[in-house]
Amino acid sequence: MRRRKLEPTKQQLSSLRPERGEKARGLEAGQPVAVIVKVKEPGYVPEGFRVRSRIDACLFTADATPQGLEAAEHDPQVESIAAAERLEPPR
């Protein structure tokens, strides 16, 4: 039996919404925050970041400590950091 790959429709994708609230993003005091990081040097990981998944040599998702985020603001190897938002289907 051949398995069929299921792909979401445009309507299903457009109805996804980010989770709400600080707890959903991991912003509780001292807790790591899920982020998407782009660096200038392939393979570079700033201190205070734990790689979750690599997208390519310079782009990855990570858990970052509050101290790591603060230090990354002044790190010349860090090009950008964005909060990772978990998507959930509408209820």
Domains of the chain, each with CATH number or no CATH: 21-86 (3.30.70)
Chain position carrying tokens 């994708």: 13
Task: Specify the pLDDT at position 42.
Answer: 97
Burial (Cβ within 10 Å: 0-12, 13-18, ≥19) of residue 23:
exposed
pLDDT at 76: 97
Q: What is the pLDDT of residue 24?
A: 44
Here the tokens at position 38 are: 């782009």
Average pLDDT for consecutive 10-residue bins of the chain (91 residues)?
64 60 54 94 97 96 95 96 82 73
Q: What is the pTM of this model?
A: 0.66
What pLDDT, on a 0 to 100 scale, did the predictor assign at position 88?
Answer: 76
* The pLDDT of residue 79: 97
